[in-house]
Amino acid sequence: MLPIMIIITHIKLLQDEGARESMPQTFFIARQPIFDQNENLWGFELLFRNGLSANYAEIDDPESASVAVASCGFLQATTGGASSLKIFINFTQSLIFDRFPLALPSSTAVVEILEDIPVSDELIERLKELKERGYILALDDFAGEEKYRPLFSFIDIIKLDCYGKAIKDILEIKRKFSNVPCVFLAEKVESEEVFSALRSNGFMLFQGYYFAKPQILSGNKISSAVASRLNLAAEIEKKDLDTEAILKAIQIDASLTYRLLRYINSSAFSFREKIVSVRQAITLLGFEQLRHWLRLILYSDVLGGHSNPEMLRMALQRAHFLDKLGSVVAVDGNQKESLFLVGMFSLLEVILKTPMAIILKDLPLSENLKSALLKEEGEYINYLYLSEAIEKFDFEKAENYSDILNISGEVVLEAFQDASEMSDYLMNQASLV
Any long-range contacts for 197-200 (C-beta under 8 Å, 24+ apart)? 197/167, 197/171, 198/162, 198/167, 198/170, 198/171, 199/37
* Same domain membership, residue 245 and residue 197: no
pLDDT digits (tens, 9 = 90+) for 340-365: 888 888 888 877 778 888 888 877 77
Q: Name the pTM for this structure.
A: 0.67
Residue 275 inside a domain? The answer is: yes
Is the pLDDT reported for residue 12 higher than 60?
Answer: no
| Residue finishing a domain among 174, 206, 238 | 206
Q: Are residues 146 and 264 in the same domain?
A: no
158: in domain: yes
Do residues 167 and 188 touch, judged by C-beta distance below 8 A? no
Identify whether residues 116 and 166 lie together within a single domain.
yes
Interval 169-196 mean pLDDT: 90
| d(C-alpha 268, C-alpha 236), whole Å | 23
219 within some domain: no
Residue 214 lies in a domain: no
pLDDT at 51: 57
Could you tell me the CATH number of the domain that includes residue 49? 3.20.20.450
- Whether 266 and 312 map to the same domain: the answer is yes
Which of 206, 236, 271 marks a domain boundary? 206
In a domain, 215, yes or no: no
Domain that holds residue 377: 224-432
| More confident of the two residues 21 and 261 | 261
Q: How far is CA 412 from the centre of its chain?
A: 17
Closest to 378 in 3D by CA, of 388, 366, 387:
366
Residue 356 is assigned to a structural domain of this protein: yes
Return the minimum-mean-pLDDT range out of 7-11, 22-26, 88-92, 377-381: 7-11
Q: Are 164 and 240 contained in the same domain?
A: no
pLDDT in tens, 381-408: 999 999 988 887 788 899 999 999 999 8
Residues 198 and 232 reside in one and the same domain:
no
Judge if 36 and 91 occupy the same domain.
yes
Task: Determine contact, residues 403/385, Cβ cutoff 8 Å.
Answer: no
Residues 188 and 273 in one domain: no
Same domain, 228 and 202: no
Please give the pLDDT value at position 156. 96
pLDDT, tens digit (0-9, with 9 covering 90-100), for 194-225: 989 999 999 999 988 664 344 444 555 667 77
Last residue of a domain, one of 157, 180, 206: 206
Residue 20 clears pLDDT 50, i.e. is over it: no
The answer on 307 and 174 residing in a single domain is no
pLDDT at residue 56 tops 80: no
Number of separate domains in the chain:
2
- Which tens digit of pLDDT belongs to each residue from 23-50? 444 455 667 788 899 888 898 888 765 5
270 and 171 together in one domain = no
Does position 4 have pLDDT exceeding 60, yes or no? no
Same domain (yes/no): 193, 314: no
CB 33 within 8 A of CB 5: yes
* Mean predicted confidence (pLDDT) in 234-240: 76
